[in-house]
Amino acid sequence: MNILGVISTKLVMERSDLFKNSSVKMMKNEFGKASVFLTDKIALILRHGNNPHNHVLPHRINYHANLRALKDIGVSEIVGINSTGSLKKSLRPGMIVVPDDFITLTASPTIYKNNPVHITPSLNENVRQKIIKAALKTDLKVVKKGTYWQTQGPRLETKAEIKMMAHFADIVGMTMANEAVIAMELGIPYASVCSIDNFGNGLVEEPLTVAEIFKSTRKNADLVIQLLKSYLNLYFQEARTIHRRQYHLAFKG
């Protein structure tokens, strides 16, 4: 079964027809429970939950259970859709970054309790390149590289913190690094589409507010959905090509 894993906010599901016929599957594993929205093509996790009255804050997300649920369903790769703040004036709200690296100085979650496997964290380059290719096919401009700095949340960053981070990274968020680390521990290729929804605190004169961030997130959701649809086409084209190759090899054998 070829199925794409997607981790996103609720907006992507609400504003897209990709999930109109989805069913909810409740998954339970050694890390806890996770709700997965399933179609014949996508397994979707809403990282902040689906209850508007119980928004799961970044530091309370059960990353272990979410990623393990996607692993158990059998996804072959995961695209994370992440909301971020800009650390550079040249990276403006409304732009999309496909990061190639990340920084996190807070404790990262891990699936290991004892005798850990010491991974070298990274974002999957094959998935990254497909995201970029999918954007080009829809004439959607993306920034092809960038460093993501993850903070713990749920608070936003101080002006001094943004000024310091800007020397080392391009965008800042609260979730992507955790997902990338656990995905790698589980052996699932993972990369991210990062929408820039605001300037970092103090980067421009206008004060940063949560209301402004949510307003930009809603606008950017439509761009992300467009990119995701294009990615799905590439994903299944690649799957069909691999299937044909396997069939021909088996036939020759």
Sign for the CA dihedral angle at 12, 2, 245, 124 comes to: positive
pLDDT at res. 243: 55
Residue 196 is inside which H or E element, if any?
Answer: strand 190-199
Residue 190 has pLDDT above 80, yes or no: yes
- Per the structure, how many domains does the chain have? 1
Mean pLDDT computed over every residue of the chain: 90
pLDDT band with cut points at 50, 70 and 90 for residue 52: confident
pLDDT at res. 221: 87
Annotate 205-220 with b (16+ C-beta within 10 A) or e (fewer): eeebeeeeeeebbeeb
Give mean pLDDT, residues 198-218.
Answer: 78
User: Checking DSSP bridges between strand 171-173 and strand 32-38, what pairing results, if any?
Assistant: unpaired
Cα–Cα distance, 76 to 1 (Å, whole number): 9
Give Cα 164 to chain centroid, integer Å: 25
Residue 183 has pLDDT above 80, yes or no: yes
pLDDT at res. 107: 84
Residue 209 has pLDDT above 80, yes or no: no
Give mean pLDDT, residues 64-89.
Answer: 97
Query: What CATH number does residue 134 fall under?
Result: 3.40.50.1580
Q: Which domain holds residue 102?
A: 4-252
Of 97-101, 135-139, 243-247, the range with the highest mean pLDDT is 97-101
pLDDT band with cut points at 50, 70 and 90 for residue 11: confident
Structure-block tokens of residue 128: 């990254």
Residue 10 has pLDDT above 80, yes or no: yes
Of 1-5, 94-98, 242-246, the range with the highest mean pLDDT is 94-98
Residue 203 has pLDDT above 80, yes or no: yes
Give mean pLDDT, residues 138-150.
Answer: 96
Of 1 and 156, the structure prediction assigns the larger pLDDT to 156
pLDDT band with cut points at 50, 70 and 90 for residue 206: confident
Residue 72 has pLDDT above 90, yes or no: yes
pLDDT at res. 238: 80
Beta-carbon contacts of 172 under 8 Å, excluding residues fewer than 6 positions away, are 84, 85, 87, 148, 149, 150, 151, 157, 162, 165, 200
Residue 246 has pLDDT above 70, yes or no: no
pLDDT at res. 208: 65
Residue 136 has pLDDT above 90, yes or no: yes
pLDDT at res. 51: 84
Sign for the CA dihedral angle at 103, 105, 106, 108 comes to: positive
Structure-block tokens of residue 208: 């940063």
What three-state secondary structure class fits 114?
coil
Give the pLDDT confidence of 105-115 residue by residue, as tens digits.
988 899 998 88
Give the pLDDT confidence of 57-69 residue by residue, as tens digits.
999 999 999 999 9
